[in-house]
Structure 1
């Protein structure tokens, strides 16, 4: 049964990555153990990076520690506010309810590829794509993430990247 869950999760992630022009609605999956969450974060990020022939991210305990600290700061309000510090790149995610997984957050960021214009290195008018560009930023090598259940019962996810991406005037 655990293998069938992992196969289903991997299949959903791959399908969401292969069809970014479809709806970007992400359906929550069940909560998993912490070690599985780390694997989900890395797998989701590295599937996206592999599609663009980019080196895989390495997990950073230092980045994960900062992400956990910041996620705990958002536990009371679950607000989509960036930390604004530490000099890392950062992606944030909010999901209503507690059953959102690491794969759901990464899948939502990856789905923003549909809004990215490679020719102009910009998002389509009125669309957000900067979470996606951080995922595929060429010089970023490490990632560390955290997920918390907020007081409201909702889910907040944050990932930190080093070196940071989305530098104005540069193309990832």
Structure 2
């Protein structure tokens, strides 16, 4: 694992939390629209466990298709947003939904939406891969 360097301090943003909450309230697993310079991660599960959501986003780095210099970095966009060095504001919202648009299966689901500013702007790692 590459150690963290040159990363900005993270701060909670009530404005981002409000926009994330608005999207969580729609019970839509698809990305929200009109997010200029705002990154977004969405998680839905039958249970509410926020640390599990963040762990799953982060653990995308273990997907072999996400190796350095790999053309398939779209497979780890959640991870890239979580570790993006320039992001310094985050806000999240949560909702319980009977049905979640874009998620198969019946029953209540917890939906967690996190918004980040600034968003990760490139589908590549925000750090240099070692040689």
Tell me the equivalent position of 1:85: 34
Question: Which structure is richer in relative contact order (CA contacts within 8 A, separation 6 or more)?
Answer: 2
* 3-state SS, counterpart of residue 158 of structure 1: strand
TM-score by length of 2: 0.75
**Partners of 1:137 and 1:166 within 8 A in 2:** no
- Structure 1 gap segments, 5+ residues each: 1-17, 19-49
Number of aligned pairs? Answer: 114
Trace 1:45-84 onto structure 2 (pairs within 5 A): 51-53=3-5, 54-74=7-27, 79-84=28-33
Q: Describe the shift of the 1:149–1:59 C-alpha distance in structure 2 as closer, same or farther (beyond 3 A).
A: same
**Partners of 2:8 and 2:86 within 8 A in 1:** no
Residues 8-35 of structure 1: per-residue CA shift (max 9 Å, x gap): xxxxxxxxxx9xxxxxxxxxxxxxxxxx
Tell me the equivalent position of 1:112: 60
Question: In the aligned structure 1, how far is the partner of 2:16 from the partner of 2:33?
Answer: 14
Q: CA RMSD in A?
A: 2.4
Trace 1:22-171 onto structure 2 (pairs within 5 A): 51-53=3-5, 54-74=7-27, 79-87=28-36, 88-95=38-45, 97=46, 99-115=47-63, 116-120=66-70, 122-123=72-73, 128-151=75-98, 152-167=107-122, 171=125
TM-score by length of 1: 0.58
**Partners of 1:133 and 1:166 within 8 A in 2:** no
